Structure 1
Amino acid sequence: MCMKSIQAPNAVVMIRPHHFCPNPQTAADNSFQSVDQTRSAQEIAIRARDEVTTAASMLEAAGVKVRVFDDFSENETPDSVFPNNWFSTHAGGHIALYPMYSPNRRRERRTDVIDMLKSQYRVQDVIDYSGLEYDGIFLEGTGAMVLDHIDRVAYTARSNRANPVALERFCTHFNFEPMAFHSTDMHGRPVYHTNVIMCIATEFALVALDMIPDALRRDEMVHRLQQTGREVIALTEAQINEFGGNALELNTKAPEQTTRVLAMSARAAASLLPEQRAIIEKSAQILPIAIPTIELAGGSVRCMLAGIHLSARN
């Protein structure tokens, strides 16, 4: 048993798509996307919808509050299953809305999600950065940034989806220190989102250290994470290709004490080494969720979960 952590939310928003497909507008810079030619588009869409339903049920059974919204749009919002990119919530009653790189991803923003948060949680303000899209400035939420809510650091892999101007504005408004770094795959291509190579939990962090070429920056990141008492688990690029870094720690609901779970895909969990699992399981139970269809879009479980760091209304 462990006390509740400010790093790990106990509630999430999920979007259940009814016409899911990998996004053609993001394929050029998302090397994690893939194509399934063995199933029809309808079969893929139905399976993705069912994977979200099952994932939500598994999280609820583990003690996480899940608020599911359905997306019935056809071909307009292929990546809607990944809501963590267009909004985030923060302790003290704050919400951020983000500028999205791909034009069809900008249509994912929806007022009913924000209205639910305002009605069910204590919200003081909504800071909307989406207007930066008109200036070609993008910052795709907690995909582009991996936030350390304890040490107040926003770890950000440089890419066309993480503009330094937007990052600086966010950090100023939300009291984070920006920690930007270069990250590349084996072909030298920038990693499109930070949260595929990095996960920060309460007592540990998963990081693809070999994919950060700047040794000084890499050492600085490890030092900062270790200063908070976390164990740094180095992931290989092979594990990253299995979405091993795309995970989110969650609190389970309990009046005073709680256990924590680390939500990740079954594929990602299978990539972990025994010694890595041992470190994680000292403070969080691994919750493997099978989402092979959704992973065709180049994201995994963490991308599907928009954490709610707000105080619930009575």
Structure 2
Amino acid sequence: MKQITNSVLMVRPVNFRMNEQTAVNNYFQKEINAENINDLATAEFDEFVSKLRKAGVEVIVVNDVKGDDTPDSIFPNNWVSFHETGKTVLYPMFAENRRKERRLEYFAELEEAGFKINEIVDYTSAEEDDVFLEGTGSLILDRINRKAYCAISARADEELLIEFCEDFEFSPVIFNAYQTVDGRRKQIYHTNVMMCVAEEFAVICLDTIDDKKEKKNVLKHLKEDGKEIISLTEKQMHEFAGNMLQVEGAFGKKLLVMSARAHESLHKDQIEKIEKHCEILSSPIPTIESCGGGSARCMLAEIFLPKA
């Protein structure tokens, strides 16, 4: 069982813009007045892909379809996850226009690249009951220790989380996480904006967990699994510093991937703690972050599938 992979799926955008359907509970999104939003996002995407490939990460790039209204297709980790057993999971999505992002034809491209899909596990019927669990946006998976960290929200249903954990043999670590929006505490839409679990460490904004018992429980789980805890401030979280992913580059080199904005928000001591364990790879994605309300981690769907 591995915690990190050297293969990721990324979706090149053709319809990127601010998605009004997700803005109702994604407080990171901002409107940008520019006619060429998709061009800006695509240039940022291409530079990011180039940096990952240069570092030795295998990046499978698929193209979004022009005709559909899929402004968030650049964030595939919310609708799909790929597992070492060969299982591929499809997740129920909160925004109706995001459901169009689930394109099974992408799987043929993965199979052409040598990956093997044995079974598709489909939770999408939960959408009929307005029940959602948005992939590794909602689920922070510690694959080695078989734990699924999840901040409950409109996009992360507790019962469906437990069903996923039973099906995939994870133990759920459930909590509530909040951010301050116009002076009020509001639920964070995705766990992966406030937390990242790597092989030997975890980056987490503990200030978002208001309940002391829940905070203590999350810390207990991370510590008992030997993770060094690197704490973020809420201000840093708002710069997407929690939205990171550890991957493997050339010759087994470990990399912590994040945006340039997230990287710039980190303090010297935090960078030193991270660099004890791995290198930082960052890339500027300001248009994607502002309009999309997601960052580097959201753009990466990890591929743990076996090779055929």
TM-score, normalization: structure 1? 0.94
Correspondence list, 1:118-133, <5 A: 118-119=111-112, 120-133=114-127
By how many angstroms is 1:227 displaced? 1.6
**Correspondence for 2:299:** 304
User: How far did 1:72 drift?
Assistant: 3.5
* Cα deviation, residue 132, structure 1: 1.1
> Identity across aligned pairs (percent)?
44
Q: Secondary structure at the match of 1:188?
A: strand
| RMSD of aligned residue pairs (Cα, Å) | 1.2
The answer for the alignment partner of 1:57 in structure 2 is 50
Give CA-to-partner distance per residue, 1:130-163, whole Å, 9 cap, x none. 1111111110000011111111111111101011
Tell me the equivalent position of 1:45: 38
Pick the aligned partner of 2:108 from 106, 115, 136: 115
Gaps of 5+ in 2: none
Aligned partner of 1:22 among 18, 25, 36: 18
1:13/1:68 contact within 8 Å kept: yes
Say which is worse superposed, 214-223 or 114-123, in terms of deviation: 114-123
Equivalences for 1:174-189 in 2 at 5 Å? 174-186=168-180, 187-189=184-186
Alpha-carbon distance, 1:179 to partner = 1.1
What amino acid does structure 2 have at the position aligned with 1:210? D
1:294 aligns with 2:288: yes
Match of 1:102 in 2: 95
CA apart distance, 1:75: 5.9
Q: Verify the 8 A CA contact 2:6 2:247 in the aligned structure 1.
A: yes
Q: Please say which of residues 159-168 and 70-79 is displaced more in the overlay.
A: 70-79
Name the counterpart of 1:31. 27
Please name the residue that 1:208 is paired with. Answer: 205
CA-CA distance at 1:208 after TM superposition: 0.6
Please state how far the C-alpha of 1:121 moved relative to its aligned partner.
1.3
> Could you tell me how far apart the structure 2 residues matched to 1:275 and 1:127 are?
42
CA distance in structure 2 between the aligned counterparts of 1:229 and 1:61, rounded to whole angstroms: 31
| 2:12–2:42 Cα contact (<8 Å) kept | yes
* Alpha-carbon distance in 2 for matches of 1:16, 1:213: 37
Write the mapping of 1:240-279 to structure 2, written as runs, cut at 5 A.
240-254=237-251, 258-279=252-273
- Native 8 Å contact 2:161 2:172 kept in 1: yes
Consecutive unaligned residues in structure 1, runs of 5 or more: none
Which of 130, 133, 141 in structure 2 is aligned with 1:136? Answer: 130
Instruction: Say how many residue pairs are matched.
Output: 303
Distance 1:88 1:276, change over 3 A: same
TM-score (norm 2): 0.96
Q: Structure 1's 253 and 310: CA in aligned 2 closer, same or farther, altered over 3 A? A: farther
